[in-house]
Chains A and B, each alone.
Chain A
Amino acid sequence: MSDDIYREIILDHYRNPRNKGKLENADVTVHDSNPLCGDEIDIHLKVDEGVIRDVKFEGKGCAISQASASMLTELVMGKDLDVVKDLKKEDILENIGLTNLGPARIKCALLSLKVLKVGMVKYYSENDPKSAEQIKNESSLY
Chain B
Amino acid sequence: MQRSIVNSYELRNDFPIFKKKINGKELVYLDNASTTQKPYTVIKSITDFYSNYNSNIHRAVYQLAEEATTLYEQSREKIANFINVRPEEIVFTRNTTESINLIAHSWARTNLKKDDGIAISELEHHSNIVPWQILSQEIGTRLEYVGIDENGFLDLEHLIELISSKKVKLVSLSHMSNVLGTIVPIERIIKIAHENDIPVLVDGAQSVPHMPVNVKNMDCDFLVFSAHKMLGPTGVGVLYAKKEVLEKMRPFMGGGDMIKEVFKFHTNYNEVPYKFEAGTPNIADVVGFGAAIDYLKKIGMENIRKHEIDLTEYALESILSLNHLTVYGPRDPNYRGGVISFNIADIHPHDLATIMNDHGIAIRSGHHCAQVLMQRLDVPATSRASFYIYNTKEEIDKFVNTIKEAGRIFKI
Contact = CB atoms under 8 A, between A and B. Distances in A.
A2 B409 contact: yes
A64 B355 CA distance: 13
Contact of B354 (A5, A36, A60): A5
Interface in A28-50: 36-40
A76 interface: no
A99 B65 CA distance: 54
B157 interface: no
A38 B367 contact: yes
A38 B381 contact: yes
B351 A3 contact: no
A2 B409 CA distance: 8
Nearest to A15: B346
A84 B201 CA distance: 54
Nearest to B405: A2
A108 B358 contact: no
Contacts, number: 47
Given A11-B411, A38-B367, A63-B348, A2 B354 contact: yes
Contact of A38 (B23, B354, B355, B380): B380
Contacts of B358: 1-2
A53 to B, nearest CB: 31
Interface string B328-361: 0000000000000000001111110011001000
A38 B366 contact: yes
B366 A6 contact: no
A1 B23 contact: yes
Contacts of B374: 38
A38 B381 CA distance: 7
B9 interface: no
A61 interface: yes
Contact of B348 (A2, A3, A5, A61): A61
Given A2-B409, A11-B411, A61-B380, A37 B355 contact: no
A105 interface: yes
A62 interface: yes
Nearest to B349: A62
Interface string A65-107: 0000000000000000000000000000000000000000100
A105 B366 CA distance: 13
Contacts of A61: 348, 350, 380
B127 to A, nearest CB: 16
B355 A2 contact: yes
Interface string B187-219: 000000000000000000000000000000000
A62 B348 contact: yes
Contacts of A40: 380
B380 A6 contact: no
A55 to B, nearest CB: 23
Q: Which of A2, A15, A39 has the most CB of B within 10 A?
A: A2
Contacts of B355: 2, 6
B314 interface: no
Interface string A1-14: 11101100001001
Interface of B: 23, 346-351, 354-355, 358, 365-367, 371, 374, 380-381, 406, 409-411
Interface of A: 1-3, 5-6, 11, 14-15, 36-40, 60-64, 105, 108
Q: Top 10 A-B pairs ranked by shortest CB distance?
A: A62-B348, A62-B350, A2-B355, A1-B358, A63-B351, A38-B380, A6-B409, A2-B358, A62-B351, A38-B381
